Structure 1
Amino acid sequence: MKKALIITYYWPPAGGSGVQRWLKFVKYFRDFGVEPIVYTVENANYPITDNSLEKDIPSGIEILKQPIWEPNNVLSLFGKKKTESAGFLNPNPTFFGKVLQYIRANYFIPDARKFWVKPSVKFLKEYISKNNIDVVITTGPPHSLHLIGVQLKQELGIKWISDFRDPWTEIDYFHQLPLSPKAIKKHHQLEQKVLQLSDAVLVVGQTMKQNYQAFNKNIKVVTNGFDGEVQENNMLDKKFTLTHIGLMNADRNPKILWEVLSKIVLKNNNFALDFQLKLIGKIDVSVKNDISNFGLSKNVEIVDYVAHKEVIEFQKKSQVLLLIVNNVPSAKGILTGKIFEYLMAKRPILAIAPTNGDLAEIINNANAGKVVDFEDKFSLETHILELYQQFKNGTLSINSNNVAQFHRRELTKKVSEIIYEITA
């Protein structure tokens, strides 16, 4: 049995997508000869919580916790809301807001959790010296956690795997940050150092692998996935529902979709009566404004964050599942975790994303739906009308395949094999 020390900021009761990946690996590790020890924060300021996820923590797992000082707690005294995340950077900040954004971007590199690195290294060096740990695993974002791995690797020579749930300098909001040239250079230097010192690097998609191979040859693609059985469901929504799960920020605001839907609603009375758009999760005000401006408000239901088990229910009842990739320079490599749970729901997927990106490859290979490019209004309108016609005919379904490979247990097996490979 290999002992793996997993360093993660997000852990139950944290909610949202960040917690899912390593919670599920931990859930299944023992099936493949790995004993996980989790190191996480004692007093995290999670913007979203979901206590229901605690049931997935295996009994008897050792969980180490240490307090963290987060400057975001201080910044909140000056108007920053707890519920803000990096995906909701204010596009029109006040002067004081601009100052705070500049400070966060240029003085907290790589991120505001950097102050957890030094005390964590001190604590974990002592813990590792007293326990037979075979491998350390760090997962980011926050990417500051990888700096804990750097120091443990340099000072103890222990085997180390860095896991990138999202890229570092290619993450979708990086270009929005008010970074100085010096800060940008520092980010790239730290990212490259992490990659070069890691014994293995886990990434969620092929584009990230290609971008990182210049710095480390042992890059392994381990996607996110779903946990549960592929669902066959006869209790579908009565209306023609398009359901989007997850946050929808300004970069993920699909104006092309609102324009196309508005056009169809105006031209087709039956569609207007049958259609409902469900947005489950946090929605940026710009999205709400555009929906209103396009006259779609009466067709929209917005539900704030709900527990993960409720998300599953929304997914399996929806007629069509909507997936939007941020229209940013790094869009080709964006592979959101929700795609895999969409696959589990076994409902047709409509994605607005690069047709040559990582997401399109998975959807096409699984025969799970349609990917439309950001500006392709004609294809988008045509496909929505095709789906609607199938709905009216009672034939709206999907015959997806090659989905079992994305089950969390299968993915955990892959990670376990990598652990055994580098610790042999």
Structure 2
Amino acid sequence: MDKKKVLIITYYWPPAGGPGVQRWLKFTKYLPEYNIEPIVYCPSNANYPIVDQSLLDEVPSVTIIKQPITEPYKLAQLFSKKSKTISKGIIAQKEKQNLIERLMLYVRGNFFIPDARKKWVKPSARYLSTYMSDFNIDTIITTGPPHSMHLIGLKLKEKLGVTWIADFRDPWTSIGYHEQLKLTKASRAKHKHLEEQVLNNADQLIVTSPSTKSEFEQITNTPIQVITNGYDTETVVVNKLDEQFTLSHIGSLLSKRNPEVLWKVLQDLVENEEGFAAKFQLNLVGEVGEEIIQSIKTHNLTNYLNNVGYISHNEAVKFQKKSQLLLLIEIDSEDTKAIIPGKLFEYMVSNRPIIAIGPKGADVASIIKETNTGQFFNYDDYEALKQTIKLHFNSFNQGNLKTNPIGLQKYSRKQLTKFLVELINPS
């Protein structure tokens, strides 16, 4: 029996680093086991904000088609050194932006709708129309952000009548950074219109959280399936845990995601808990916003900070597995309730307790509770957070700080791929 061919349209693909690339890198790894042949379409010259060459070793033996893309970031770099950080999502606070940076955000938000990859839509649709006809491909999957990928799907749906599955790793118009893009009323309306077109013309929608599903159900009657991110089997081996009482955050920690409550708790414990200062270490692994560093300094924690910076995925996994506690921080906003970061699932199989801080009603909280992998706190849970870290420190001193996860299997990448296959080949 011939394998069913499925075209996957994505912007992020190795050597791109960061969480955006992991989801479809892993799906393409397991799809062939279910008699599906994935064909990946991605840019040949993308201006990736984060690069991780080690991920090239994980690319499975599948067909990969590449076409050039025109992006504005190289031109923007002539005017501002912060253009690359803006492309990563590290948008400065209003009072920190100079005139050129404010202008860049205005241009980005109002002239590049839905995003800075919009110029790739028409040439990609032309190229793929011919390719799909030549190779008898009748199913496509688009994954965003960037949501320009969904506009390629929209054009192919209109032209060829293919089966189209649109995968949303994040929401569209409700995402938090839209507020920082200085959108005009007309630009907001255009985003909403494009979002509605995609949601209503796709044959199937995939989202990564229940909250996003609920949001989209108010806009469309198109079927929506939640398929979260997940974990894969890792070959990285760590022989022993850190000797220090390490709290580690893996991934970008941007300035809007500044957990003042955590810094206050840690300062309190350093100053008042016997033995804590001698053993405590804070690891920040990944991009860190300037305001975060300043807050840590304000709370007299600089001497305990190990600011590692961005490292390869394998090195990040080592930090996860050897740390005493793992930190998961999300912005305290209604807009971020639906965000379930991919690193949560890697945290869960690292067998280290998770301390998560985020908004009330966050989807993350229910997953952590359901899997017994840690505790979730709101930004005003000072005393509960303090007591929990204190208890973990006591367990660390006694040599029995551990976690007892349950029900993780359904979040394995292979099991999640099975859910995807059921959408590609509905019975």
Aligned twin of 2:55:
53
> Counterpart amino acid of 1:27?
K
Conserved in 2, the CA contact under 8 Å of 1:231 and 1:344? no
Are residues 230 and 329 of structure 1, via their aligned partners in 2, closer, same or farther at CA, if it must alter by over 3 Å?
farther
Distance 2:406 2:238 in 1: 17
SS of 1:138's equivalent in the other structure is strand
SS of 1:202's equivalent in the other structure is strand
Distance 2:391 2:223 in 1: 44
SS of 2:337's equivalent in the other structure is helix
Alpha-carbon RMSD across the aligned residues, in angstroms, is 1.5
For structure 1, the 5+ residue unaligned runs are: none
Conserved in 2, the CA contact under 8 Å of 1:280 and 1:303? yes
For residue 57 of structure 1, report the CA deviation from its aligned partner.
1.6
Aligned twin of 2:166:
162
Candidates 25, 36, 39, aligned match of 1:37: 39
Conserved in 2, the CA contact under 8 Å of 1:355 and 1:371? no
Q: Deviations over 1:248-293 (max 9, x none)?
A: 1111111111111111111124101111110000000110011111
For residue 326 of structure 1, report the CA deviation from its aligned partner.
1.3
Taking the TM superposition and a 5 Å limit, the aligned residue runs for 1:282-293 are 282-293=287-298
Conserved in 1, the CA contact under 8 Å of 2:373 and 2:405? yes
SS of 1:40's equivalent in the other structure is strand
Taking the TM superposition and a 5 Å limit, the aligned residue runs for 1:129-168 are 129-168=133-172
Aligned twin of 1:16:
18
SS of 2:37's equivalent in the other structure is strand
Q: Deviations over 1:22-56 (max 9, x none)?
A: 00000111001110000000100111111111122
Q: TM-score, normalised by structure 1?
A: 0.97
SS of 2:396's equivalent in the other structure is helix
Candidates 307, 312, 315, aligned match of 1:307: 312
Candidates 273, 278, 281, aligned match of 1:276: 281
Aligned twin of 2:184:
180
Distance 2:262 2:315 in 1: 25
Conserved in 2, the CA contact under 8 Å of 1:366 and 1:403? yes
Taking the TM superposition and a 5 Å limit, the aligned residue runs for 1:156-235 are 156-214=160-218, 215-228=220-233, 235=240
Q: Deviations over 1:101-128 (max 9, x none)?
A: 1011111000010000010011001101
Candidates 353, 374, 382, aligned match of 2:358: 353
> Counterpart amino acid of 2:91?
L
Conserved in 2, the CA contact under 8 Å of 1:315 and 1:342? yes
Q: Deviations over 1:97-154 (max 9, x none)?
A: 1111101111100001000001001100110111111311100010011000001001
Candidates 394, 411, 419, aligned match of 1:414: 419
Aligned twin of 1:294:
299
For residue 172 of structure 1, report the CA deviation from its aligned partner.
2.6
Conserved in 2, the CA contact under 8 Å of 1:230 and 1:344? no
For residue 356 of structure 1, report the CA deviation from its aligned partner.
2.6
- Does 2:324 match 1:323? no
Distance 2:397 2:369 in 1: 25
Distance 1:68 1:245 in 2: 30
Aligned twin of 1:335:
340
Sequence identity of aligned pairs in percent?
A: 46
Conserved in 2, the CA contact under 8 Å of 1:17 and 1:337? yes
Are residues 217 and 120 of structure 1, via their aligned partners in 2, closer, same or farther at CA, if it must alter by over 3 Å?
closer
Aligned twin of 1:65:
66
SS of 1:345's equivalent in the other structure is coil
Distance 1:74 1:232 in 2: 43
> Counterpart amino acid of 2:76?
L
For residue 82 of structure 1, report the CA deviation from its aligned partner.
2.9
Q: TM-score, normalised by structure 2?
A: 0.96
For residue 217 of structure 1, report the CA deviation from its aligned partner.
3.8
Aligned twin of 1:379:
384
Candidates 97, 103, 110, aligned match of 2:107: 103
For residue 344 of structure 1, report the CA deviation from its aligned partner.
1.2
Distance 2:222 2:68 in 1: 35
Conserved in 2, the CA contact under 8 Å of 1:230 and 1:346? no
Q: Deviations over 1:68-121 (max 9, x none)?
A: 110122111111443543420121211121111101111100001000001001
SS of 2:70's equivalent in the other structure is coil
Distance 2:295 2:221 in 1: 43
Distance 2:45 2:238 in 1: 40
Distance 2:328 2:7 in 1: 34
Distance 2:36 2:262 in 1: 45
> Counterpart amino acid of 1:12?
P
Distance 2:91 2:333 in 1: 14
> Counterpart amino acid of 1:375?
D
SS of 2:402's equivalent in the other structure is coil
Distance 2:178 2:355 in 1: 26
Conserved in 2, the CA contact under 8 Å of 1:164 and 1:203? yes
For structure 2, the 5+ residue unaligned runs are: none
- State the aligned residue count: 421
Q: Deviations over 1:198-254 (max 9, x none)?
A: 110110010001111131341010000111159996611001111000001111111
For residue 328 of structure 1, report the CA deviation from its aligned partner.
2.3
Distance 1:115 1:326 in 2: 31
Distance 1:373 1:289 in 2: 22
Range 347-356 or range 245-254, more displaced: 347-356
